[in-house]
Amino acid sequence: MRVLVGMSGGVDSSVAAALLAEEGHEVVGVTMRLWGGDSDTGCCSVADVDDARRVAQQLGLDHVVFNFSDDFDERVVSPYVEAHSRGVTPNPCIECNRHLKFDRLSERARVLGFDAVATGHHARLERDSAGRPRLARGADRDKDQSYVVHMVDAEELERTVFPIGHLSKAEVRDHARRLGLRTADKPDSQDVCFITSTGGRERFLGDRIPLRSAPVIDTEGRHLGEVPSVEMVTIGQRRGLGLPGGGPLRYVVDVVAEPEPVVVVGDGADLLRRSVDVESVTWVDGTVEGRVRAQVSAHGPAQPARSVVTDEPGVIRIEWEEPQRRVAPGQSVVLYDLDDRWVLGGGVARR
């Protein structure tokens, strides 16, 4: 098979490339240049590109860099900023997978005659009894990334390889050490790649949109304090609200951006909801209604729920078996089968 491997310069994708090459596939490594601005590893993450290229050289693979920074700006960064201005909490890594890795890159790979795109995600391709492709959780439940690649549908799965999905993180690092790859002990990336640890989210947003202060009120409408920027506040947040200590735990239960910004806090019970509406839903292999499990954060548990199709195209309602904390609008809701093994589909929590 001729495979284009996305190499970020991290250990997972390094080993993904190595394993494919060891299996005898014709492998070309590609690093996507996505972000042209500051990053923690320098302009356009040159240090990461260096790592990816050096690993590819060590493995005897051709390595290329594709510049998708315009698409990244348009499909990931601008919507990220815009969402924050609406009081919505976006997940840019998921949008990057949706629009860049499993659209722009996979399309480029197809045009260039590759049979598949491989990535270093901790996710697996399995087959059901009928031979249909299924997107399964990675073997390492702590590192599982099926949540962030939930938009890869059955058709795309046939052209996708996750070479390290069956390995634990420790095993991935063992492979990297066995092969002497310079990325073997490189720390996992944690944060949004285009936001620096020194500048942080606040400065990033503040450079692009006006940050507005907002009163903090309780569910009865009583004024409790003030936050300097409503754009930085997320539903479920407990700290950083400038409220006096002591008393019951208070959570952000609502963020209102328009017409006047307001942050509403309440106790744990005020945060609970029986359902969440999910829009822009994609399915791995067709619509699924009825009993499912639904996961609302990258590494959280998948809770029992019902998937209910609405009249609106691309919108479903997830009804929880037990009330769950409100999902911040903009966060992804990913559905799994009852065995909590296969991804069924997913979408974005709506207001």
Partner 1 sequence: MDGLLYLDHAASTPMRPAAVQAMTPFLTDCFANPSGSHRFARTARRAVDEAREQVAVSLGVLPGEVVFTGCGTESDNQAVTGSVAHRGGVAVTSAVEHHAVLDPVLASGGVAVAVDETGHIDLDELTRVLRSNDTVSVVSIMTVNNEVGTVTDMAAVSKVVRREAPGAWLHTDAVQAACWIDLREVTPLVDMLSLSAHKFGGPKGVGVLVVRGGAAPAPIIRGGGQERERRSGTSNVAGIVATAVALAETDAERDVEVERVSALRTRLVESISSSVDVHETVPSSASVPGVAHLCFEGIENEALLFLLDTEGVCASAASACASGAMEPSHVLAAMGLPRKLAGGALRLSLGHTTTAEEIDAAAQAVVSSVERLRGAR
Residues with catalytic annotation?
96, 193
> What does the per-residue mask of binding to partner 1 show for 260-299, with x meaning CB under 8 A?
----------------------------------------
In angstroms, the Cα distances linking 141 to 162, 301, 345 are: 15, 10, 19
Q: Which of 54, 65, 73, 317 binds partner 1 (CB under 8 A)?
A: 65
Q: Which listed range, 108-116, 239-247, 300-308, 339-347, lies at the site for partner 1 (CB under 8 A)?
A: 108-116
**Minimal distance, residue 11 CB to partner 1, in Å:** 19
Nearer to partner 1, 45 or 145 (CB): 45
Can you tell me whether residue 12 is helix, strand or coil? helix
253 belongs to the binding site for partner 1 (CB under 8 A): no
66 belongs to the binding site for partner 1 (CB under 8 A): yes
Nearer to partner 1, 105 or 233 (CB): 105
Tokens of 223: 């004024």
**Minimal distance, residue 85 CB to partner 1, in Å:** 27
99 belongs to the binding site for partner 1 (CB under 8 A): no
**Minimal distance, residue 66 CB to partner 1, in Å:** 5
Q: Which listed range, 105-113, 137-145, 322-330, 335-343, lies at the site for partner 1 (CB under 8 A)?
A: 105-113
Helix (H) or strand (E) holding 17: helix 11-22
How far apart (Å, rounded) are the C-alpha atoms in residues 268 and 246? 15
Nearer to partner 1, 17 or 227 (CB): 17
Nearer to partner 1, 112 or 308 (CB): 112
Place of tokens 């005897």: 60
Q: Which of 110, 306, 325, 341 binds partner 1 (CB under 8 A)?
A: 110
Q: Which of 22, 57, 67, 323 binds partner 1 (CB under 8 A)?
A: 67
Nearer to partner 1, 71 or 174 (CB): 71
Type of residue numbered 190: Q
Q: What is the CA radius of gyration of the chain?
A: 21
Nearer to partner 1, 29 or 120 (CB): 29
Give the sign of the dihedral formed by CA 81, CA 96, CA 342, CA 172. Answer: negative
Judged on CB neighbours under 10 Å (0-12, 13-18, 19+), 131 is: exposed
How far apart (Å, rounded) are the C-alpha atoms in residues 324 and 300? 12
How far apart (Å, rounded) are the C-alpha atoms in residues 123 and 24? 21
Q: Report the DSSP beta bridge partners of residue 279.
A: 348
Cα-based torsion angle of the residue sequence 241, 242, 248, 253 in order, rounded to the nearest 10 degrees: -20
> What does the per-residue mask of binding to partner 1 show for 22-61, with x meaning CB under 8 A?
---------x-x---------xxxx--x---x--------
Identify the CA nearest to 278 among candidates 311, 306, 317, 308: 317
Q: Is the separation of the CB atoms in 153 and 282 below 8 Å?
A: yes
Residues between 111 and 130 with contacts to partner 1, criterion CB under 8 A: 111-112
Q: Which listed range, 65-73, 261-269, 315-323, 341-349, lies at the site for partner 1 (CB under 8 A)?
A: 65-73
String of b and e for 86-107 (b: at least 16 CB within 10 Å)?
Answer: ebbbbbbbbbbbbbbbbebbbe
User: Quick count: other Cβ atoms within 10 Å of Cβ 322?
Assistant: 9
Q: Which listed range, 106-114, 286-294, 298-306, 342-350, lies at the site for partner 1 (CB under 8 A)?
A: 106-114
Nearer to partner 1, 113 or 259 (CB): 113
Q: Which of 71, 81, 103, 108 binds partner 1 (CB under 8 A)?
A: 108
Binding site for partner 1 (CB under 8 A): 31, 33, 43-46, 49, 53, 64-67, 69, 108, 110-112
